[in-house]
Structure 1
Amino acid sequence: MRLHWHRHDLRVTDNWGLSAADDVVLPVFVFDDEILQFGSPPRVAFMLDALAALRADYREQGGDLYLAHGDPSAVLPDLATEVGAATLSYTEDYSGLAAERDRVVTEALDSEGITVEGYHDALHHEPGSITTNAGDPYSVYTYFWTKWRNREKADPYDPPEQVVDRPGDALPALADLGFDEPVADIEPAGTGRARERLADFCAGPIYDYADRRDYPADECTSRLSTHLRWGTIGVREVYAATDRAMADAPDADARESVEAFQSQLAWREFYHHVLNFTPEVVTQNYKSYEQAIEWRDDQAEIAAWKAGETGYPIVDAGMRQLREEAYMHNRVRMIVASFLTKDLLADWRHGYAHFREHLVDHNTANDNGGWQWAASTGTDAQPYFRIFNPTTQGERYDPDAAYIHEYVPELAGVSAETIHAWPDLSPSERRDATPDYPDPIVDHGERREQAVTMFKRARGEDPDE
C-alpha cells in the first residue's frame, strides 16, 4: 500500500504522485497547525471546499480521503505503520517553510523504513531543469521562456486504480481551525469548477487574451490562478487544453494569443524556480543595492491604500475588489503595487503581507515575484525609473470606468472623463462631482521624483545627476 500525502494538489486526476502508484493508495490530508498559522480565512475557506470536493471525487471511485489533525512527522509514520504502507508520495513544494517540513517528515518516515517519493507535480519543468549554458538558474524571464516553450510537456496523468475507503476525521469547519468566516465572497472549489473555467476560457476568450487581458472590466482571463495554487486542476491538463485551443485557432493572431497565455504559465514556473534557488527572497530583496532603500513607510498612507481610499480611482477599485472577492485582476495588481512602492514609497513587504492575508490565490513564489518586480528589487524587475502613472493606467485599461464603477460605488454616477481627471481637479470640482470620494492623498508627480531620488541614493548615485 502507498500513502499519498495531499497538500497543494487537491485533485485525483492528472496527479503524478497518485498516478505513480502500482498498488492500493490511501490518500491523506493532515491539518498541520504549524502551516495553518500562516493561513487566512479566504485561503482556508477555499481549501476546505476543495477538500470536500476531493473527498467526494474519491468516494465516487469507491475510496475516501483520510483526514487527520496534528504534526505530519508523527501522524504519517503512525498511519503508515498501522495500515502497512511501504511508500509515501507527495508533491514537492518550494518555499523554505515547506521544504523544512518535508525534510522533518522524510526523516521520520525513513526511520520507520518507509520509502518517500517527492514529485514535481505542480510544474511542467522542475527547478534545475531549465538553466543557462553555464548551468545556473535564470534571472531573466525571456531566456527562461524561450527554453520553457520548446520543452516537451507531459500528458495529463490517469487517476489511481485502487483507493482505500478509510475516512479518518470529519472535515472541520473554519471555526474548528481557528478562523473567522471570510469577508470576501469565495468562489467554489474543486476540479469540476476548475474544468468549467478552463473550458469556458478555451472556448473563446483565450483567442482575445493577448489584446484584452489587461482590461479588468473584460472577462478575458482564465481565473484559474486559485485552482492552480491549490492544485484542484493539474498543470498538464491546463496546458493540454491550451494546446487543443492552439490547434483550433482560426488565424495567426489567435495562435499568438494562445501563446501569450502559455507564457503566463511559464512566468508562474519561472518564479517557482527563483524561489527554489533563492528562498531568502521571501523576506529580502532579490536585487542588491549599494545602500539601503530609504522607504518612507507612512502608516496612514499605507492604511488608506489598504482601505481603497487613496483618491486614485483605479487603485481604490483594485483594493476593494481584493476585499470583496479575495482576488484582483493581474493588471490592477501591478498598478496597486507600483502605487504602494513608488507613489507611497512604502516597502514592498507591506504589500506582500497584505496580499498574503487577503488573496485566495496567494502563492509565495508568484506574489513575491510580482511585488519585487513592481518595487524594482526583484529578478527581471521593472526599472526603478519606469513608474506607473495611476491616472494613465486607468485611462488606458479602464477607459469607460466600468471596473471603477463596479468597485467604487461613490463614483458610480460620475462620468469616466471626470474619474480619470480626478487627481487634476480642484477640490471644489471634486465635491461637485461627488462629496463621498476622497481627494488624492499624494501628488503623483512629486512622489515620482522622490522615488527616483530614493533609488538613485540606494544605487550610490548622485540624485541630482
Structure 2
Amino acid sequence: MQIHWHRDDLRAADNRGLAAAADAAAGTDGASGTAPSGGVLPVFVLDDGVLEYAGDARVRFMLDALDSLRAWYRDHGSDLLVVRGDPASILSALAREHDADRVVWNKGYSGFARDRDDRVRDALDDEGVEYDSFHDAIFHEPGSITTNAGDPYSVFTYFGRKWLDRPKADPVDAPDASALADVDGDPLPAIEELGFAAPDADVETAGTDAARDRLDTFCADGIFRYDEDRDYPTRGAVSRLSAHLAWGTIGIREVYAATEAAMERAENGGADVAGFTPEEQVDSVEEFQSQLAWREFYTHVLYFNPEVVTENYKEYEHDIEWRDDPEELRAWKRGETGYPIVDAGMRQLLDEAYMHNRVRMIVASFLTKDLRIDWRAGYDHFRTHLVDHDTANDNGGWQWAASTGTDAQPYFRIFNPMSQGERYDPDAEYITQYVPELRGVDADTIHEWHELSPVERAQVDTDYPAPIVDHSERREEALSMFEAARGDD
C-alpha cells in the first residue's frame, strides 16, 4: 500500500505526489489494472502546528475543500482519512496499521514545512517505512533558477525572464479508481471541534470544481484585459484563484495550460473582448503569467531565507523605529481610518476574507508608511483573516510594501491613499460597496475627504470618520524614519 499525505494539495487531478503513488500501486500488477499492493490510502492530518496560525475563514475553506476532495474519493470507491494530531506520529502509526510500503507527499518550501517533513522522515525511518516527496506546488524547484554565479535571485526581473523561458511541465491525470484503497473514513469534524467559529466573512466556495469555474471564467474574458484592468477593483479582471492555489484545490500546471490556450486564442486573431486588440490580449496573458512567476519567486526567497517570516529581508544600519499605537492599528483593522480606499479594503477583508491586490498594496503602504506600524502586525492580521493566505506571497507582499523585502519598492515611494483611490476607483464604486456610510456621497467629495474641513464633513451628513492622520505629515515622518535606519546624515 502507498499512503499519500495531502497537505496544501487538496485535489486529485494534477497532483504529482498522488499520481506517483497511484502509479506505484497500480504498477505492481499492470496486467490486471488492479492494485494488489492495497492501492493508495489518502490521508490529511489536521496539524495543530498549522491550525495555531489559522483563522476562522481559512479553516472554513480548508474544511470545505476537504469535503469536496473526500467526495471525489468516495465517488471513486475510496475515502479520505482525516485525522487530527502530530503528522509524524499519525503517519508512522497508519503506515504500521496498514502495512504500507511507502508514504508520499508533495514538498513544502517554508522553514516550518521542511522541519515538519524531517520529523516525519525520522518517524518513518524508525518504522522501517520508505517515503518520498515530490515537487508539485511550483514549476521550478528552489535552486533551479539562479544567477550565473549559482546564487538565488534577489531581483525579480532576471528571475522572471528565466522563469518564462523555461519549459513548463504538463498537468498529470487524476488516479484511476482501481489504484485507490478500499477504505472508509470518519466524518469531518465541525469547525467548532477544531477550536474555531463559523466565520463572519462570506467565504468563497472551495474545491476543484469551484477552482475550475474560476479559471474558465477568467480565461474567457478577464485574462485578455488583465494588463489594463487588473489594478481596478471593480473591473473584474483578476482570476480570484489565489485561495485555490494556496490550498492546492487546483494545480499550477492546469492553470498555466489554460493560460497557454488563452494565449493561442489571442495569437490566432484574438478573443471576443471588445476594446482590446489581439496584441494587447497577448500582452495581458503574458502579464498574468508573470504574476505566476512572482508567486514562484517569493517561494524561492522563502526557501533560501526562512527567517523572513519574522525578520526583515533587507538589512538596515540601524533598527527601524516602528511606532506602537494600538488605537491607530485598531482603526486600520476595522476600516475606520478616514481614508476611504483604505477602509474599503479593510472592510472587504472582514466581509469576504479576501482583498483586491491593488488595494492590498494601498492598505499595506498606509500601515507601514502613514501609521509607521511594523509590517509584522499587518502580516499577522492578514494571515488570520485572508482565506488565501500563503506564507511566501503574503510575506513577500508585506515586505515589498514596507521597503524591507527583496526587490521591494524604495522607502521613498509612499502611496498617497487619496490619489490611489481617485485613480483606481474614480467613481468610488468599490469604496461605496464596502463603506455604506459614503453611499449617496458624490465621488469627488469622497476623494477629497482628507481636504475637507470639519464643517464641510459635517455637512455631508455621514457617520464616516475624519482622517486619523495627516498623510503629508506622516509621509515626511516615514522618510525620516527610514533615513535614520539607513544611517543617512
TM-score category, normalised to shorter length = over 0.9
Q: Is it true that 1:326 corresponds to 2:377 in the alignment?
A: no
Task: Name the residue aligned to 2:488.
Answer: 461
The question of whether the paired residues in 2 share the 8 Å contact of 1:131 and 1:144 is answered with: yes
**Matches of 1:437 and 1:5, distance apart in 2:** 49
Using the size of structure 2 for normalisation, the TM-score is 0.93
Aligned AA (2:420): Q
Task: Name the residue aligned to 2:2.
Answer: 2
Q: Is it true that 1:387 corresponds to 2:414 in the alignment?
A: yes
Query: Which one of 327, 333, 339 corresponds to residue 300 of structure 1?
Result: 327
Deviations 1:272-330 (A, max 9, x none): 10000000000000000001111122111111101100000000000000000000000
Deviations 1:94-131 (A, max 9, x none): 22222111110111012212111111211011111111
Task: Name the residue aligned to 2:33.
Answer: none
Using the size of structure 1 for normalisation, the TM-score is 0.98
- Consecutive unaligned residues of structure 2, counting only runs of 5 or more, are 26-38, 271-277
**Matches of 2:120 and 2:133, distance apart in 1:** 12
Task: Name the residue aligned to 2:86.
Answer: 71
The question of whether the paired residues in 2 share the 8 Å contact of 1:297 and 1:344 is answered with: no
The question of whether the paired residues in 1 share the 8 Å contact of 2:438 and 2:462 is answered with: no
- Consecutive unaligned residues of structure 1, counting only runs of 5 or more, are none
The question of whether the paired residues in 1 share the 8 Å contact of 2:145 and 2:163 is answered with: yes
**Pairs within 5 Å for 1:178-189:** 178-189=195-206
**Matches of 1:4 and 1:160, distance apart in 2:** 12
Deviates more, 1:64-73 or 1:303-312: 64-73
**Matches of 1:218 and 1:164, distance apart in 2:** 46
**Matches of 1:428 and 1:321, distance apart in 2:** 29
Deviates more, 1:158-167 or 1:132-141: 158-167
Q: Is it true that 1:221 corresponds to 2:221 in the alignment?
A: no
Deviations 1:394-440 (A, max 9, x none): 01000000000100000011010000000011111111113300000
Aligned AA (1:458): A
Displacement after TM superposition at 1:91 (Å)? 1.1
Task: Name the residue aligned to 1:85.
Answer: 100
Aligned AA (2:282): R
Query: Which one of 188, 198, 216 corresponds to residue 199 of structure 1?
Result: 216
> How many aligned residue pairs are there?
462
Q: Is it true that 1:102 corresponds to 2:117 in the alignment?
A: yes
Aligned AA (2:6): H
Task: Name the residue aligned to 1:16.
Answer: 16
Query: Which one of 286, 291, 308 corresponds to residue 264 of structure 1?
Result: 291
**Matches of 2:234 and 2:282, distance apart in 1:** 23
Aligned identity (percent) is: 65
SS at structure 1 position matched to 2:350 = helix
Displacement after TM superposition at 1:254 (Å)? 0.3
The question of whether the paired residues in 2 share the 8 Å contact of 1:411 and 1:434 is answered with: no
**Matches of 1:297 and 1:322, distance apart in 2:** 23
The question of whether the paired residues in 2 share the 8 Å contact of 1:391 and 1:421 is answered with: yes
Task: Name the residue aligned to 2:399.
Answer: 372
**Matches of 1:209 and 1:281, distance apart in 2:** 30
**Matches of 1:166 and 1:371, distance apart in 2:** 43
Task: Name the residue aligned to 1:314.
Answer: 341
Deviations 1:346-391 (A, max 9, x none): 1101100100110000111110000000000000001000100000
Q: Is it true that 1:247 corresponds to 2:260 in the alignment?
A: no
Q: Is it true that 1:165 corresponds to 2:153 in the alignment?
A: no
**Matches of 1:177 and 1:167, distance apart in 2:** 22
Task: Name the residue aligned to 1:136.
Answer: 151
Task: Name the residue aligned to 1:208.
Answer: 225
Aligned AA (2:422): E
SS at structure 1 position matched to 2:4 = strand
Displacement after TM superposition at 1:165 (Å)? 2.6
**Matches of 1:448 and 1:260, distance apart in 2:** 31
SS at structure 2 position matched to 1:160 = coil
